Amino acid sequence: MRGYRGIKYTLFVCCYIFWVASAVLIAVGIYAKIAKEKDAVDTLTADPALLLIVVGSLMLTITFFGCFGALRNASALLKLFSGILLAIFLLQITAGVLGFLYSDLVLERTERLMKKAIVRYRDDLDLENVIDFIQKKFQCCGVQSYKDWHHNVYFQCEETNPSLEACGVPFSCCKRNKTETVFNTMCGYKTQNIEEAKAKEDVFIIGCLDNIVHWGKKNLWLVGGMTIGLLCLELCMVCLASAQLSRIKKINKKQELLSLRNSYRQRR
């Protein structure tokens, strides 16, 4: 009986942690969505706020099945929870294998997505912050090179472009001196017109795609360990749900046998 309670409450605690995390994701996503302008981008692939809400909602629903099923010994909910989690686990494994086999295609699709994000850089504040964070974190600029910013209407290098940022790059592409007290946000001004050798002194000229791939290869053990850890946690929760279902079946069978014995004795 103690082992049964251990399984039950371990599963509940695991699901509850994910349930709280999913609620936080939804809250952050809703706050970010409300804070945006009405004409902001609202597509799932280009809107981080919408992505947070969708992912958080899915996590909240799945973990609710696990929490309530574990606490109330609801076999139907536990079966649904373990079934969905197992399907997600298998999909992740499949995606990982396909991603490894078709790595060139994945990189090509990722490049297209990143270029679309550059085009919509000023259309969505969250998307802008994500791109700025990536460029500062990985010390890169654009997708393949800093000149990819020509595809954005604000940074487009055309004589007819009235933008003050024309032929430039975002401030997140700039190399910042440690001795600098006030950061110049116009440090990328007219950078696209300068030769690469000279532009290299002020901004990062290497694209983010290459730098991210290089970082992934360099930190392969870290990325692999985190991925395997997440998969093991999912598999562990499936096993806990299955173990609880098995215990519930045994308890139900015992109760049925006891009721049959009692009814037989009453007849005698």
Per-residue model confidence (pLDDT) at position 266:
67
Query: pTM score > 0.85 for this model?
Result: no
The 8 Å CB, 24+ separation contacts for 129-136 are: 130/48, 131/170, 131/172, 132/170, 132/171, 132/172, 133/172, 134/208, 134/212, 135/170, 135/172, 135/173, 135/204, 135/208, 136/172
Q: How far apart are CA 134 and CA 142, in angstroms?
A: 10
Per-residue model confidence (pLDDT) at position 6:
80
Per-residue pLDDT of the chain (268 residues; tens, 9 = 90+): 555 678 888 888 888 888 888 999 889 888 877 776 555 555 555 567 788 888 889 999 998 898 888 888 888 899 999 999 999 999 989 988 888 888 888 889 989 989 998 998 888 777 888 899 999 999 999 999 999 999 999 998 888 888 888 888 998 998 887 766 666 777 788 888 888 888 888 889 899 998 998 888 888 888 888 888 888 988 998 998 888 888 888 877 777 777 777 776 766 6
Among residues 185, 113, 189, 107, the alpha carbon closest in space to that of 146 is found at 189
Q: How far apart are CA 87 and CA 122, in angstroms?
A: 38
**What are the φ and ψ backbone dihedral angles of 262, each rounded to 5 degrees?**
-65, -40
Per-residue model confidence (pLDDT) at position 264:
66
Strand positions, DSSP E, 164-256: none
Which 8-state DSSP code applies to residue 203?
B
Per-residue model confidence (pLDDT) at position 87:
92
Q: How far apart are CA 226 and CA 243, in angstroms?
A: 25
Per-residue model confidence (pLDDT) at position 135:
93
250 contacts 10 by C-beta, under 8 angstroms: no
188 contacts 164 by C-beta, under 8 angstroms: no
Per-residue model confidence (pLDDT) at position 4:
64
Per-residue model confidence (pLDDT) at position 143:
93
Which 8-state DSSP code applies to residue 28?
H
